Structure 1
Amino acid sequence: MDQLTKDIIRGVISYIYGPDVLKRLSGEFRIEVGKTGGLRRIYLGNKLVFTIRASDGRPLPTIEGARLIDRIVVVSRDAAPFVRQGRSVMAKFVVDVRNAVPGDEVAIYSEDGELLGVGRLVLSKEEVLSVGRGVTVKLRHHVRDNGEK
Structure 2
Amino acid sequence: MLRFQFGVGAEDVVSGVRFEFSRNTGLLRKIYATDVSEEEVEKIVKWELEDIIKERKKKKLDIPEDPFGEFFLSKGRTWLLASVVAENFKLVPHPLLAFRLWRRFRDEIRYSLVVSDEAEPFIRDGKSIFSKFVLDLDPHIRANDEVLILNEKHQLIAIGKAVLSAKEIREFKRGVAAKNRCGFDINL
Provide the residue aligned with 2:126 in structure 1.
86
User: Any unmatched runs of 5+ in structure 2?
Assistant: 35-77, 102-109
CA distance in 1, matches of 2:89, 2:166: 27
Describe the superposition over 1:98-133 as per-residue Cα deviations: whole angstroms up to 9, x where unpaired: 142222110111112221111111223332232211
Query: Cα RMSD (Å) of the superposition?
Result: 1.9
TM-score, reference length from structure 1: 0.80
CA distance in 2, matches of 1:126, 1:16: 19
Note if 1:33 corresponds to 2:33.
no
TM-score, reference length from structure 2: 0.65
Higher alpha-carbon Rg: 2
Provide the residue aligned with 1:63 in structure 2.
95
Give the residue type in structure 1 aligned to 2:7: G
| Identity across matched positions, percent | 32
How many residues get paired?
A: 134
Higher helix share: 2
> Where in structure 2 are the equivalents of 1:1-149 lying within 5 Å?
12-26=1-15, 28-36=16-24, 37-45=26-34, 46-69=78-101, 70-98=110-138, 99-143=140-184, 145=185, 147=186
Give the residue type in structure 2 aligned to 1:54: A
Instruction: Give yes or no for contact 1:92–1:133 (8 Å, CA) kept in 2.
Output: yes
Moved over 6 A (4+): none
CA distance in 1, matches of 2:86, 2:177: 24
Q: Alpha-carbon deviation of 1:24?
A: 1.2
Task: Pick which of 105-114 and 81-90 moved more.
Answer: 105-114
